[in-house]
Structure 1
Amino acid sequence: MRVIHVALALFVRQAVFALATSTRRPFVVQQKSNTPLVGTKFYGSAPSAPQAYLDNATFTGIYIGRTARFLGIPYAQPPTCNRRLRLPEPLPPYEGHYDVHKFGPSCPQQRLILPIGLNTGLEKDVSSIVTSLYEDVTTDSEDCLTINVVTPVSATPSSGLPVVVWFFGGGFEIGGTATYDGGVIVSRSIEIGEPVIFVSMNYRISALGFLPGKEVKEAKIGNLGLQDQRLSLKWIQKYISAFGGDPSKVTIWGESAGAISVALHMLVNQGDQQGLFRGAIMQSGGPIPVGDIEHGQQYYDALVKNAACDNSPDTLECLRNVPFPRLKYAMDISPNFFAYQGLTLAWLPRVDGVFLTEPPQYAVLRGHVANVPMITGNCDDEGSLFSLSSLNISGTDDLRVYMKSFMLPSAAPNELDLLLQYYPDNQLAGCPFDTGIRNELGPQFKRIAAIQGDIVFHGPRRFFLTHQARKQSSWAFIHKRGKDTPFVGAVSTRDRPSEFVWWGELADYIIYFTRNLNPNGKLGIKWPQYNLRNPKALIFQDDPFFPVIVGDDNYRANSLEFVANLSLLHPI
């Protein structure tokens, strides 16, 4: 029961914030375009809401505390009707008036089904709560491509403030911007005298954003969610000055799927970032070991069948025109990240030959990486949450079959043998790490959690640093807080902003990095730059006296090198 409560809590906390944000009301005053929003005396009637002017349009936002927020601004044509499953299209010049005081709908969410067998039958009820909570609070819609801008109230079009751009996580299956309070980052930046602007955007997820298959490859519409993100970065270049931002000082920042997205934006165009960003921050994500988009053909075929398009002469066109409830049903019954196959996700970025032209790790080896300063880190126990569905695996033979069936179908027997030697059947070595014999939900749970977390999260981070730290300024962190959480430990998502906002430390480092391309500033202990000869990381831990320390970043060196090489040979 505690496991389910942990998983549920991750969603509840975000949803509660979204509900609170959607019901707030402005209580500060408005400005004209070149008048500071605070520190100014107003005589007579005072304006009541901030305004920004884009093209021939006026955008009216909302004041909350020391921030001005412009929420739910459309940045692309609605991907509906004949634009479904097509590349995002920019909007024509804005005209008229836009009321942008609340978040726009999130993109359609894939229904989550929690793993069964964890307790006495609460799975169905809890699953319903988890999957409906996000949608009930934020709503979702195919018409979802909107962007949010949060500024200090003192910002004017001539302020030239650095900009941090947030990509939300959620396994490329769920998520949206409404559950992240960018205003907290902006408010904190004002407090420490290093003001920044925060931007976030919704992008297509699940099958609508990451449909695989040969049909998709031939149509050149792979990775639509990443294409949405890329278009939003171009929107920022065009319009952020109107909000007081400097388009030459943009840092991209993400967690989990958002961090993977950040890494992939560093790799497209052979590492040419096209002037869209100058820094990158990755929390629990890196150059994920994925292969060709046709590796996901089975998921395309299943979606086509479940959407009743299998008898169509043009299945892709059928998916574009099928009534959305039918398509949504087909998405909902596809495997999610709590499915038995774990982190072998159905819907995720893959090499499409257009946006991603080579496997991410190949791009790193070839030096096709944007040469920008970066921060990258992991939660210690990344794989635990995603291994709750495989509790029935009872021994090494079963585990070998499991890995061959899902994550490593093309691996040779001797390669699987080596993998199982690097990850022995020993609870002391499993994930959650450093918890002894505790947390073993099933005979192979901690072993599977260690393997999955290392292949998808820890391995790519270490691989990225190994090949890039000599070429570009890099900083690493490890998040070890929450080790006493039953069964999942310092679980994936524990390093997301809503957690760090209350602790404060990482938020300050991110603000300094956004401002100066170096996370060190007036506050906090000195964070050493990554050095391959003596690799160090900032470690966030539960110790009340030493909550943040600098420690060695050399854990599981041989295992992580092995899984990185294995992923090069056998990408997902």
Structure 2
Amino acid sequence: MVRESVANGLPVIMVAINYRLGVFGFAQSAALKAERSENAGLRDQRLALEWVREHIDQFGGNRDKITIFGQSSGGLAVGMQIRSDSSGAVAYGASKPVPFQQAIGQSQINEPGITGYFTAEAMKSVVSAVGCNASSLHSDKTVSCLRSFDTQTLLNASIETYVADVAHNVGDIWLPVVDGDFLPAAPSRLIKEGRFANITTTIGWCDNDLTAFIDTTISTDKHAHDFIQAYIPAMTSANVDKLLSLYPISEFIANTRANLSSQFYRTAQAVRDILMVCQPLFYAENLARRGNNVYLFDWNQTISDQVIEALTQETGYGVIHTSDLEYVFGNLSLYDNGEYPFHATPADYALASRGSRSWSTFASTGKPSLKGHHTFAGFTPAFSRTGEISVFIAGGPHEGLSAIDGPRSKAALKVQRLRERCAFINSDEVIEQMRY
């Protein structure tokens, strides 16, 4: 789907692409690897992006100014597409430049478990469900057996065997795989070695990104430890304890109205940092180290809480996962459908205007902030020569650029202690245990 819009007087051609998901896009086996059929969903994306590069001029676009944009699993896909050798992307068995110049990754850019077992276990479950387990999981016979079924049968099998608990990566079980071709090595290794495209990037997260995915009954140190241990099963118990020591319970306040404990918020913050903050910072630092501009943001305003409360009678989750979407797409009316209370404020509409204009301005100019055009004010690159790291707080009472620590750090970021916490989460030992 191709659509044209204009923001700040700058034309933006938006293209939505389709690609295979679940077992169809991310099935894993040695037989598929041998025929270069693993990571089919990512290959679909790359083919679509190459089509855009070759044909976008027919729609009024500029092939030399292409921005890819994804949120959540789409943000992970953005991270996978950026990864490459310095000479170009390793895809389809050939080295060639990536077909884009800029990228936006929201609420994910990488993920624990890519070199783990989640997808292999999901694959085994589907194979068994349709009776293709007479031979080895990795054999040609198993792949041929799966291909003998129609799409609906395999889809039903994947749905029936789907598990979404914390021990199964909170349901994110169909992940990319190191296939030696599209993804030639573990993502963390590619990042450390600088094997990625040199592009301008905007990366960010929602302030309470994962509260809606955390067990609301967590109320003790042991509960917190067990939840994180289940989420990162290869992390040693000692490192889980060390991680939690960086999040002292005294720094988190219970919400008695919502019946959510301090331990709940402590756990949610730690898991948010593992998935949504520290890995993006690790990626961003390496991109910036090689001369690329990177813009970081922390989304700090939402109208999703009123929707959740109306639908579930639950509250207290804050600025949850996806809270940024209705703003950056300028589409608050999505929730004004008569199904539940809708109380968007003038501040919400103003943020939707600033947010959507900033994203389209980034697509047009490579910068999310443009004076005199009602974008986010002062949203500058995240990394300075002095070692300061800045994050733009988008929305809420503290909007603006803030260092993560030091004298230029706003209270909203200073209390998050990102440098200290991410130094541990991004250490070689912990990265190895997070399996990415």
Q: Give the corresponding residue for 1:541.
A: 395
Q: Give the corresponding residue for 1:552.
A: 403
Matched, 1:207 2:23: yes
Q: Give the corresponding residue for 2:281.
A: 462
Give the secondary-structure state (helix, strand or coil) at the position aligned to 1:245.
coil
Q: 1:419 aligns with which of 240, 243, 251?
A: 243
Give the secondary-structure state (helix, strand or coil) at the position aligned to 2:44.
helix
**Higher radius of gyration, 1 or 2:** 1
- Are the equivalent residues in 2 in contact too, given 1:383–1:454 (CA < 8 A)? no
Q: Give the corresponding residue for 2:65.
A: 249
- Are the equivalent residues in 2 in contact too, given 1:150–1:197 (CA < 8 A)? yes
Quote the offset at 1:254 in angstroms.
1.3
Calculate percent identity across the aligned residue pairs.
24
Q: 1:476 to 1:237 in 2, by over 3 A?
A: same
- Are the equivalent residues in 1 in contact too, given 2:254–2:265 (CA < 8 A)? no
How far apart are the structure 1 equivalents of 2:34 and 2:303? 46
Matched, 1:261 2:77: yes
Quote the offset at 1:488 in angstroms.
1.8
- Are the equivalent residues in 2 in contact too, given 1:214–1:294 (CA < 8 A)? no
- Are the equivalent residues in 2 in contact too, given 1:289–1:567 (CA < 8 A)? no
How far apart are the structure 2 equivalents of 1:207 and 1:427? 43
* Cα deviations by residue, 1:470-526 (Å, 9 ceiling, x for unpaired): 421121111011399323210011112555515111221222222221222232322
* Cα deviations by residue, 1:231-267 (Å, 9 ceiling, x for unpaired): 0011112221221222121111111111111111111
Query: RCO higher in 1 or 2 (8 Å CA, sep ≥ 6)?
Result: 2
Q: 1:396 to 1:220 in 2, by over 3 A?
A: farther
Quote the offset at 1:552 in angstroms.
2.6
Q: Give the corresponding residue for 2:312.
A: none
Alignment TM-score, normalising by the size of structure 2: 0.78
The residue type equivalent to 1:209 in the other structure is G
The 5-angstrom pairing of residues 218-233 of structure 1 reads 218-233=34-49
The residue type equivalent to 1:321 in the other structure is S
How far apart are the structure 2 equivalents of 1:304 and 1:319? 7
- Are the equivalent residues in 2 in contact too, given 1:351–1:358 (CA < 8 A)? yes
Quote the offset at 1:297 in angstroms.
1.9
How far apart are the structure 1 equivalents of 2:160 and 2:433? 27
How far apart are the structure 1 equivalents of 2:53 and 2:174? 29
Give the secondary-structure state (helix, strand or coil) at the position aligned to 2:231.
coil
Q: 1:317 aligns with which of 144, 152, 161?
A: 144
Q: Give the corresponding residue for 1:149.
A: 2
Q: 1:473 to 1:443 in 2, by over 3 A?
A: closer
Quote the offset at 1:213 in angstroms.
4.3
CA RMSD of aligned residues (A): 2.8
The 5-angstrom pairing of residues 138-177 of structure 1 reads 148-151=1-4
Q: 1:499 to 1:531 in 2, by over 3 A?
A: closer
Q: 2:161 aligns with which of 299, 314, 334?
A: 334
Q: 1:218 to 1:450 in 2, by over 3 A?
A: farther
Q: 1:520 aligns with which of 359, 362, 369?
A: 369
- Are the equivalent residues in 2 in contact too, given 1:428–1:435 (CA < 8 A)? no
* Cα deviations by residue, 1:109-142 (Å, 9 ceiling, x for unpaired): xxxxxxxxxxxxxxxxxxxxxxxxxxxxxxxxxx
- Are the equivalent residues in 2 in contact too, given 1:212–1:294 (CA < 8 A)? no
The 5-angstrom pairing of residues 90-101 of structure 1 reads none
Q: 1:558 to 1:437 in 2, by over 3 A?
A: farther
* Cα deviations by residue, 1:11-69 (Å, 9 ceiling, x for unpaired): xxxxxxxxxxxxxxxxxxxxxxxxxxxxxxxxxxxxxxxxxxxxxxxxxxxxxxxxxxx
Q: Give the corresponding residue for 2:203.
A: 376
How far apart are the structure 1 equivalents of 2:316 and 2:105? 25
Q: Give the corresponding residue for 1:495.
A: 324
The residue type equivalent to 1:530 in the other structure is A
* Cα deviations by residue, 1:251-292 (Å, 9 ceiling, x for unpaired): 111111111111111113457251501111111111334443
Q: 2:299 aligns with which of 468, 474, 479?
A: 479
* Cα deviations by residue, 1:300-348 (Å, 9 ceiling, x for unpaired): 1111112222235722222222233331222113335566645462112
Q: Give the corresponding residue for 1:278.
A: 101
Q: 2:178 aligns with which of 329, 336, 351?
A: 351
How far apart are the structure 2 equivalents of 1:242 and 1:359? 37
Give the secondary-structure state (helix, strand or coil) at the position aligned to 2:24.
helix
Quote the offset at 1:195 in angstroms.
0.9
Q: 1:337 to 1:449 in 2, by over 3 A?
A: farther
Give the secondary-structure state (helix, strand or coil) at the position aligned to 1:229.
helix
Give the secondary-structure state (helix, strand or coil) at the position aligned to 1:368.
coil
Gaps of 5+ in 1: 1-147, 152-185
Quote the offset at 1:215 in angstroms.
4.5
How far apart are the structure 2 equivalents of 1:419 and 1:271? 37
How far apart are the structure 2 equivalents of 1:357 and 1:344? 25
Q: How many residues align?
A: 377
How far apart are the structure 2 equivalents of 1:245 and 1:354? 30
- Are the equivalent residues in 1 in contact too, given 2:200–2:366 (CA < 8 A)? yes
Give the secondary-structure state (helix, strand or coil) at the position aligned to 2:434.
coil
Q: Give the corresponding residue for 1:449.
A: 268
Give the secondary-structure state (helix, strand or coil) at the position aligned to 2:2.
strand
Gaps of 5+ in 2: 90-96, 306-314, 332-351, 406-415
The 5-angstrom pairing of residues 81-92 of structure 1 reads none
Q: 1:335 to 1:201 in 2, by over 3 A?
A: same
- Are the equivalent residues in 1 in contact too, given 2:303–2:323 (CA < 8 A)? no
- Are the equivalent residues in 1 in contact too, given 2:218–2:261 (CA < 8 A)? yes
Matched, 1:301 2:128: no
Give the secondary-structure state (helix, strand or coil) at the position aligned to 1:237.
helix
Q: Give the corresponding residue for 2:346.
A: none
How far apart are the structure 2 equivalents of 1:344 and 1:567? 22
Alignment TM-score, normalising by the size of structure 1: 0.60
The residue type equivalent to 1:322 in the other structure is F
- Are the equivalent residues in 2 in contact too, given 1:361–1:568 (CA < 8 A)? yes
How far apart are the structure 2 equivalents of 1:275 and 1:345? 26
* Cα deviations by residue, 1:203-232 (Å, 9 ceiling, x for unpaired): 111121122344543443221111110000
- Are the equivalent residues in 2 in contact too, given 1:537–1:550 (CA < 8 A)? yes
Q: 1:336 to 1:526 in 2, by over 3 A?
A: farther
Q: Give the corresponding residue for 2:411.
A: none
- Are the equivalent residues in 1 in contact too, given 2:178–2:186 (CA < 8 A)? yes
Quote the offset at 1:446 in angstroms.
2.5
- Are the equivalent residues in 2 in contact too, given 1:279–1:373 (CA < 8 A)? yes
Quote the offset at 1:364 in angstroms.
1.3
